[in-house]
Amino acid sequence: MGQEIMNPVGAIPAERRSAHREQRKRRGKLVIGLLNNSKPNVAFFLEGVDRELRAQPTPYEIVSVVKPRSAGPSPDIELLAARCDYVINAVAD
């Protein structure tokens, strides 16, 4: 049985799409952040997301970050905001 990644956000507004296209042209690839909140099953989920993204024909750069505590703030949130086009914040138990 295959996996399917679904986007719960919906369509991206046209102005954001064009801004992302310009950023990607300069960098050559789309940067996706994977934020692990350090709960038990998040790593398993994000490993699957990482595999699926790397299997796509579009070149992605993946930035993975693990929060030290699930209830605490992420010390790397500024890095993700500055470096990534999109961030997947996984909060599974």
Mean pLDDT computed over every residue of the chain: 80
Q: Over the stretch 67-88, which tens digit does the pLDDT of each residue have?
A: 988 888 888 888 888 888 889 9
CA 33 to chain centroid: 3
pLDDT band at 65 (very low <50, low <70, confident <90, very high): very high
For 4, list phi and psi in degrees, rounded to 5. Answer: -130, 130
86 - beta bridge partners?
32
Among the residues of 6-91, which ranges form H helices? 14-27, 42-55, 77-83
The CA distance from 6 to 81, in Å, is 22
pLDDT in tens, 6-34: 655 556 666 766 666 676 666 678 899 99
Backbone phi, psi, residue 65, to 5°: -135, 140
CA–CA gap between residue 50 and residue 45 (Å, rounded) = 9
